[in-house]
């Protein structure tokens, strides 16, 4: 996985540097405090940006029946960082399909960000995201979309506050075709302001000539890509400049390949990163960097030629020792990268009664405040499965389950529910706000860092009222609960093992339903707590909706995440049938029994299949593994349902092809979510797998035996 992400990002860097759109004429350079007094003059023929426009009610593009109108500012509903987005209404009044794209984006005058068009709307309501830089518009269609952008989170450059967004629109025949039209630059000013950035103050200036100002900034570390550096550039010319890396040496380690590529429009600045492949990628940091860069120029961005590069003089930069914080407790290791470790204090309690392993606080807030808890960022605790089940039955505000280990222990991420930031004066509060924001974002990501460094398995549990009541039914001590439908009536669930059903529901996420969600019609499964006068209804006809009824109050909830194959209503129905069988009002269902167990491929024995009952009635979870060679492994995760002919049929199954190199590193070489087929039992009791996705009818069935 690590390698495929590297490859994709490497391709993205190259694409950003030497591909994409440029207008017929370059955009006019903006004034910049970093420009040398003797900078090259700007051509008087440079095209001025077509703006600025307001974020609401302005037509920012109109061509061949396609019109784009701004519809207001908002926050990205999928982002925990409250990233700004701009809604746009897009209409294609023409009689043909059009592929509209965005490219060449600049945020607050900085290139290096990838502009996105996403969050397609339906009847004005958000329903999901399909982030892409291109958008297929059917003939005579309209819709609402969002303009968003990716940024790498440089703490020294404010790309969070969106003051100005600049880009161009592109036209293409379809998504796979290269754009054949690029608009003049579009500039949208939001009314926000950001402080001017002098990039010469962000690091060491290594190039400053008539064409280019280049500054090497701080060193940082990423869990996936290892150490990396920030690179800031200013294009002083009236042409586009493309930069790429040739080779580097990091603390004596020679790197023949780096992840870096940049394309800077005339007069624009850029904020990019450079990371390494090979042995240098495994370093926790370095003290000496020697870097070779090359560049090319062109009148437009798409004319930049990666085969016509001119080498720049070698660059040499020194860094102070990278001092990591390493803390251990309860068999778990917490590693904190140098720039963060200087700012935080870590407490490591011994044999804590609540399982607390680490507690992390911002030093400056703790030192400035006179109360306990100031500056607290997060804590990590380890608890048993029994303790987890007990907690899931009550309010877990400020606690998130995020991991599980091989011994069955669970890990809790505690976080503040109020602001713990503190300084002695208002001026200091304003001065250090960016530092506190950066630490809070780092704290949010730390739980995922602990997963990889400690070999933990990621898990997550919902803490909504719906899930709390389901947890109480499964694990609550002395709880009197029943499940009911019109089929068999109410039955008690005491003594029924409801763990797998509750576990399935709690790994979803329920939130209050919006005002447009109505109570569904039809049958529903009732989880009732008669002594508490409260119940939960799971609707079979609208399985993403649940209802809590308490006294005279009804509250609708909607699942944010749903499984493509099995709904929460399916799981509750499976639990209900298990309770009915235990109560003796329903015969035990043995229809799946002949499929259950472990099977191996009959001829060579290499392929194996494991079949077990799912939480839904008449459904099975199937895992298959087939080594194609020592270096290539095929794996399937399938949910199959009993068909009328007695076979187990699956649709939209998940298949991955994993490759391994000589060092044991792996990556996903292929992946599909469209696997279809079925299993049936042969005359000799063998399991036969019929794969619909294999076109060759002579090879689309395999035989497995116990």
Per-residue confidence at 80, pLDDT binned at 50, 70, 90? Answer: low
For residue 49, what pLDDT is reported? 41
Nearest one of 537, 550, 544, 551 to 514, comparing CA atoms = 544
Nearest one of 289, 38, 21, 307 to 167, comparing CA atoms = 21
Task: For 471-495, write each residue's pLDDT tens digit.
Answer: 999 999 989 999 999 999 999 999 9
Query: Are the CB atoms for 555 and 534 separated by under 8 Å?
Result: no
Residue 9 DSSP SS3: helix
Beta-sheet pairing, 608-613 with 597-601: antiparallel
Lowest-pLDDT range of 87-101, 316-330, 487-501: 87-101
For residue 127, what pLDDT is reported? 47
Mean pLDDT of the 62-77 span: 87
Mean pLDDT of the 10-17 span: 36
- Matching CATH topology for 50-189 and 465-583? no
Beta-sheet pairing, 457-458 with 399-404: antiparallel
Residue 218 DSSP SS3: strand
- Does position 170 have pLDDT exceeding 50, yes or no? yes
Nearest one of 599, 620, 597, 601 to 609, comparing CA atoms = 599
Task: For 375-409, write each residue's pLDDT tens digit.
Answer: 999 999 999 999 999 999 999 999 999 999 999 99
- Does position 46 have pLDDT exceeding 70, yes or no? no
- Does position 153 have pLDDT exceeding 50, yes or no? yes
Q: How far apart are CA 160 and CA 155, in angstroms?
A: 10
Per-residue confidence at 199, pLDDT binned at 50, 70, 90? Answer: very high
Higher pLDDT, 143 or 215: 215
- Does position 603 have pLDDT exceeding 90, yes or no? no
Per-residue confidence at 131, pLDDT binned at 50, 70, 90? Answer: low
- Does position 5 have pLDDT exceeding 80, yes or no? no
For residue 195, what pLDDT is reported? 86
Per-residue confidence at 621, pLDDT binned at 50, 70, 90? Answer: very high
Task: For 367-383, write each residue's pLDDT tens digit.
Answer: 999 889 999 999 999 99
Per-residue confidence at 38, pLDDT binned at 50, 70, 90? Answer: very low
The fold adopted by the segment(s) 465-583 is Dna Ligase; domain 1 (3.30.1490)
Task: For 496-532, write each residue's pLDDT tens digit.
Answer: 999 999 999 998 889 999 888 999 999 999 999 999 9
Structure-token pair, residue 24? 């017929």
For residue 133, what pLDDT is reported? 78
For residue 81, what pLDDT is reported? 57
The fold adopted by the segment(s) 50-189 is Immunoglobulin-like (2.60.40)
The residues with which 671 forms a beta bridge, in sequence order, are: 656
Per-residue confidence at 605, pLDDT binned at 50, 70, 90? Answer: confident
Per-residue confidence at 301, pLDDT binned at 50, 70, 90? Answer: confident
Query: Are the CB atoms for 565 and 576 separated by under 8 Å?
Result: no
The pLDDT > 70 percentage for the chain reads 89
Instruction: Sketch the domain layout of the chain as residue ranges.
Output: 50-189, 325-458, 465-583, 593-705
Query: Are the CB atoms for 400 and 448 separated by under 8 Å?
Result: no
Task: For 677-692, write each residue's pLDDT tens digit.
Answer: 999 999 999 999 999 9
Higher pLDDT, 220 or 104: 220
DSSP letter, residue 278:
G
The residues with which 555 forms a beta bridge, in sequence order, are: 548
Q: Give, in order, the Cα–Cα distances in Å from 414 to each of 37, 382, 395, 624, 628.
A: 53, 11, 13, 37, 44
Task: For 639-655, write each residue's pLDDT tens digit.
Answer: 999 999 999 999 999 99
Q: How far apart are CA 616 and CA 382, in angstroms?
A: 32
- Does position 670 have pLDDT exceeding 60, yes or no? yes
Greatest mean pLDDT range, 109-118, 181-190, 571-580 = 571-580
- Does position 43 have pLDDT exceeding 50, yes or no? no
Structure-token pair, residue 601? 């491929």
Lowest-pLDDT range of 154-168, 229-243, 282-296, 532-546: 154-168
Query: Are the CB atoms for 509 and 464 separated by under 8 Å?
Result: yes
Mean pLDDT of the 663-673 span: 87
Query: Are the CB atoms for 617 and 589 separated by under 8 Å?
Result: yes
Mean pLDDT of the 227-245 span: 94
Q: How far apart are CA 627 and CA 109, in angstroms?
A: 51
- Does position 26 have pLDDT exceeding 80, yes or no? no
Query: Are the CB atoms for 355 and 361 separated by under 8 Å?
Result: no
Task: List, as one string, the DSSP characters of 46-90.
Answer: PBPPEEEE-SEEEEEEEETTEEEEEEEEEE-TT-TT--EEEEEEE
* H runs (alpha helix) in 393-480: 426-431, 433-454, 465-475
For residue 12, what pLDDT is reported? 35
Per-residue confidence at 32, pLDDT binned at 50, 70, 90? Answer: very low
Query: Are the CB atoms for 101 and 63 separated by under 8 Å?
Result: no
- Does position 348 have pLDDT exceeding 70, yes or no? yes
Residue 273 DSSP SS3: strand
Mean pLDDT of the 417-436 span: 93
The pLDDT > 90 percentage for the chain reads 61
The rounded mean pLDDT for the chain is: 86
Burial class of 264 by CB neighbour count within 10 A (0 to 12, 13 to 18, 19+): buried
Query: Are the CB atoms for 219 and 227 separated by under 8 Å?
Result: yes
For residue 434, what pLDDT is reported? 85
Task: For 525-567, write each residue's pLDDT tens digit.
Answer: 999 999 999 999 999 988 889 999 998 899 999 998 777 789 9
Structure-token pair, residue 535? 């119940």
Residue 239 DSSP SS3: coil
Beta-sheet pairing, 666-681 with 545-550: unpaired
For residue 51, what pLDDT is reported? 52
Query: Are the CB atoms for 271 and 72 separated by under 8 Å?
Result: no
Mean pLDDT of the 158-177 span: 84
Q: Give, in order, the Cα–Cα distances in Å from 506 to each of 24, 52, 405, 461, 476.
A: 55, 48, 19, 5, 14
Task: List, as one string, the DSSP characters of 299-357.
Answer: SSGGG--TTS-EEPPPEEEE------EEEEETTEEEEE-HHHHTTEEEE--SS-TT-EE
Q: Give, in order, the Cα–Cα distances in Å from 582 to each of 38, 470, 481, 495, 587.
A: 87, 19, 15, 8, 9
Q: Exposure pattern of 18-28 as b/e (b: 16+ CB <10 Å)?
A: bbbbbbebbbb
Per-residue confidence at 22, pLDDT binned at 50, 70, 90? Answer: very low
Mean pLDDT of the 150-161 span: 78
Query: Are the CB atoms for 505 and 572 separated by under 8 Å?
Result: yes
pTM: 0.77
Q: Which regions of 469-552 does DSSP assign to beta strands (E)? A: 482-484, 491-492, 509-512, 524-529, 534-539, 545-550
Higher pLDDT, 131 or 428: 428
């Amino acid at each position: 996985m690590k390698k495929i992400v590297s490859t994709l990002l490497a391709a993205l860097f190259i694409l950003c540097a030497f591909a994409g759109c440029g207008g017929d004429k370059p955009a006019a350079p903006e004034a910049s405090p970093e420009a040398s007094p003797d900078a090259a003059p700007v051509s008087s023929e440079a095209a001025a940006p077509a703006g600025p426009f307001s974020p609401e009610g302005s037509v920012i593009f109109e061509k061949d029946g396609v019109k784009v109108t701004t519809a207001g500012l908002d926050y990205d509903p999928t982002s925990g960082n409250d990233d700004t987005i701009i809604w746009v209404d897009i209409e294609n009044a023409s009689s043909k399909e059009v592929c509209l794209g965005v490219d060449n984006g600049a945020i607050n005058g900085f290139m290096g960000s990838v502009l996105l068009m996403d969050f397609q709307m339906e009847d004005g309501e958000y329903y999901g995201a399909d982030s892409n830089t291109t958008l297929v518009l059917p003939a005579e269609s309209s819709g609402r979309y969002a303009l968003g952008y990716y940024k790498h989170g440089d703490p020294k450059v404010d790309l969070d506050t969106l003051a100005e967004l600049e880009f161009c629109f592109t036209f293409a025949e379809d998504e796979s075709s290269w754009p054949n039209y690029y608009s003049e630059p579009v500039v949208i000013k939001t009314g926000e302001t950001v402080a001017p950035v002098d990039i010469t103050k962000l690091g060491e200036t290594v190039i400053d000539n008539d064409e280019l100002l280049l500054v090497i900034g701080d060193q940082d570390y990423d869990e996936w890509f290892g150490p990396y550096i920030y690179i800031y550039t200013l294009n002083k010319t009236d042409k586009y400049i493309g930069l790429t890396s040739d080779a580097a040496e990091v603390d004596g380690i020679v790197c023949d390949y780096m992840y870096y590529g940049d394309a800077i429009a005339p007069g624009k600045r850029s904020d990019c990163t450079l990371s390494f492949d090979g042995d240098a990628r495994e370093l926790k940091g370095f003290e000496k960097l020697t870097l070779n860069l090359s560049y090319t120029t062109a009148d437009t961005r798409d004319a930049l030629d990666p085969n016509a590069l001119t080498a720049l003089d070698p660059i040499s930069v020194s860094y102070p020792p990278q001092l990591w914080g390493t803390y251990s407790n309860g068999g778990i290791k917490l590693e904190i990268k140098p720039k963060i470790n200087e700012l935080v204090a870590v407490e490591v309690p011994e044999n804590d009664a609540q399982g607390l392993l680490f507690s992390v606080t911002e030093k400056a807030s703790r030192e400035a405040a006179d109360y306990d808890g100031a500056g607290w960022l997060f804590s990590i605790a380890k608890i048993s499965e029994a303790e987890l089940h007990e907690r899931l039955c009550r309010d877990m505000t400020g606690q998130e389950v995020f991991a599980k280990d091989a011994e069955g222990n669970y890990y809790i991420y505690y976080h503040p529910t109020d602001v713990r930031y503190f300084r002695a004066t208002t001026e200091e509060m304003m001065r250090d706000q960016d530092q506190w924001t950066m630490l809070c974002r780092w704290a949010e990501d730390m739980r995922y860092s602990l997963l990889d460094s400690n070999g933990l398995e990621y898990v997550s549990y919902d803490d909504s009222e719906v899930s709390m009541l389901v947890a109480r039914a499964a694990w609550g001590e002395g709880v009197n609960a029943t499940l009911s439908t019109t089929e068999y009536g109410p039955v008690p669930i005491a003594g029924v093992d409801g763990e797998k059903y509750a576990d399935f529901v709690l790994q979803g996420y329920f939130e209050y339903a919006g005002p447009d969600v109505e109570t569904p019609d039809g049958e529903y499964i009732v989880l009732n707590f008669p002594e508490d006068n409260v119940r939960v209804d799971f609707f079979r006809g609208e399985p993403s909706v649940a209802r809590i009824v308490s006294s005279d109050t009804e509250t609708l909830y909607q699942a944010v995440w749903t499984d493509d194959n099995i709904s929460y209503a399916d799981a509750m129905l499976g639990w209900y049938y298990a309770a009915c069988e235990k109560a003796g009002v329903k015969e035990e269902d043995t229809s799946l029994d002949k499929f259950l167990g472990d099977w191996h491929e009959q001829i060579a024995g290499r392929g194996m299949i494991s079949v077990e009952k799912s939480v839904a009635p008449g459904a099975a979870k199937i895992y298959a593994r087939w080594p194609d060679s020592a270096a290539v492994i095929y794996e399937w995760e399938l949910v199959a349902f009993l068909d009328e002919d007695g076979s187990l049929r699956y649709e939209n199954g998940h298949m991955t092809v994993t490759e391994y190199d000589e060092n044991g590193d792996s990556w996903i070489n292929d992946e599909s979510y469209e696997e279809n087929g079925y299993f049936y039992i042969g005359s000799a009791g063998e399991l036969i797998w019929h794969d619909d996705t294999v076109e060759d009818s002579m090879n689309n069935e395999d035989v497995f035996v116990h």
